[in-house]
Structure 1
Amino acid sequence: MARKKTITREHILSAVFEVISTEGFSGFTARNIANKMKTSTQPIYLEFKNMDELRNVFIDQVTAGLRNEVYNQSYTDDCIVDLIVNYVKFASENSVFYKALFVDNHDSGTKLNKFTRNLFYDKINQDDVYAKLSDEVKEAIFTNCWVMSVGLSSLAASNRAKPTVEEIEVIIKNVIEMSKKHPKVSLTKLK
């Protein structure tokens, strides 16, 4: 009779979350994850082909959670402001995890950039005010708001500032207006 599997995919993903939430991606090793579960690395490799597959599944799980639970909160009547308020709140409440995902350089950075871009465009293209703007203006708003939101989030994550919803709203609305007036902005690394 075969032994019953005691370490599931969900256990492994939970351990990955614990590791990255405390150590960042520098701690993303099979040994560290196994240590969190108090087991050998064998269950990890029974569930996942390799560490790249595990990281990709984890990032997919994280982005689904961010999309469905974190970034859907409403604070204002502006979808961009709400998106950035949620981003800053996430950074403030999950500083190590935020830094691991969005600040540190790691193999999933490009995938997270695409997630951020796609989420932004999904939100604005469903909004009556923003959907009718030119692609150039939308791109300027995206780039400028992303740069500003990373700055605000980094300040919040490091406890150097705790911007309120009202403060974020004023800052982001100013950034949006500036982007509409001066849409010639491009940072190729953000794509």
Structure 2
Amino acid sequence: MARRKTITREHILNATHEVVATEGFSGFTARNIASKMKSSTQPIYLEFKNMEELREAFFEEVEDYLRNEVFNKEVSGDPIIDLTLNYVEFARKEKMLFRALFVEDHAGGQLLNEFGLKMFIEKAKDSELYQGVSDEELNTAFLGNWITATGLASLATSERIHPTIEEMVSILNIVNKSIKRNPTFTITM
């Protein structure tokens, strides 16, 4: 009789999440993930061809988590501001995971940038507030909000600032008004 599989894909992805959330991507090794599961590395390589395949599966899980658990909360009624506020709140609650995903340099960084832009445009296009706004203007708004949000999140997670929701909404409104007046703002990603 064949041995029953006790460590599943889900177990491996959960352990990967725990490792990245506590150690960042510097801890993303088969040995560290196996250690978190109290097993050898064999179950990882039975489930995934290599660590790159595990990384890709992990990023798919992260995107689902961010889309369904983090970025879908309504706070202000403006989906773009809500997305930004949720990003900052995520950074406050899950400091190390935020840093690992959005601050550290890693192979999935560009994927997360593209995911963030896609979420931003989807939320804007689903809202009456942003009807008639071009994709180019939304790209510009994304950049301004993302840069502002990352600054707020980084400063808040390091306890250097303690902005209230109202203060952040005010800052974001100022940023968005400035972007509307200067729609040619760009930055290379």
Q: List alignment gaps of at least 5 residues for structure 1.
A: none
Alignment partner, residue 2 of structure 1? 2
Question: Which runs of at least 4 in structure 1 moved beyond 6 Å after TM superposition?
Answer: none
- TM-score under structure 1 normalisation? 0.96
Could you tell me whether the CA contact under 8 Å between 2:78 and 2:129 is conserved in 1? no
Alignment partner, residue 87 of structure 2? 87
Q: Distance in 1 between matches of 2:96 and 2:163?
A: 18
SS of the aligned residue for 2:10 comes to: helix
Shift of 1:187: 1.1
Alignment partner, residue 168 of structure 2? 168
Shift of 1:186: 1.1
Q: Distance in 1 between matches of 2:98 and 2:70?
A: 12
- TM-score under structure 2 normalisation? 0.97
Alignment partner, residue 16 of structure 1? 16
Aligned CA-pair RMSD: 0.9
Q: List alignment gaps of at least 5 residues for structure 2.
A: none
Alignment partner, residue 147 of structure 2? 147
Q: Distance in 1 between matches of 2:37 and 2:175?
A: 45
Q: Distance in 1 between matches of 2:16 and 2:132?
A: 41
Q: Deviations over 1:46-93 (max 9, x none)?
A: 001110110111111111111011111111121111111100000000
Could you tell me whether the CA contact under 8 Å between 1:19 and 1:36 is conserved in 2? yes
Alignment partner, residue 110 of structure 1? 110
Shift of 1:165: 1.1
Could you tell me whether the CA contact under 8 Å between 2:117 and 2:139 is conserved in 1? no
Q: Deviations over 1:119-154 (max 9, x none)?
A: 000011111121312333222211111110110011
Q: Distance in 1 between matches of 2:54 and 2:116?
A: 21
Alignment partner, residue 73 of structure 2? 73
Q: Distance in 2 between matches of 1:148 and 1:86?
A: 13
Identity of aligned residues (%): 51
Q: Distance in 2 between matches of 1:135 and 1:179?
A: 14
User: How many residues are treated as equivalent by the alignment?
Assistant: 189
Shift of 1:188: 1.7
Q: Distance in 2 between matches of 1:22 and 1:29?
A: 13
Which residue type is aligned with residue 151 of structure 1? Answer: G
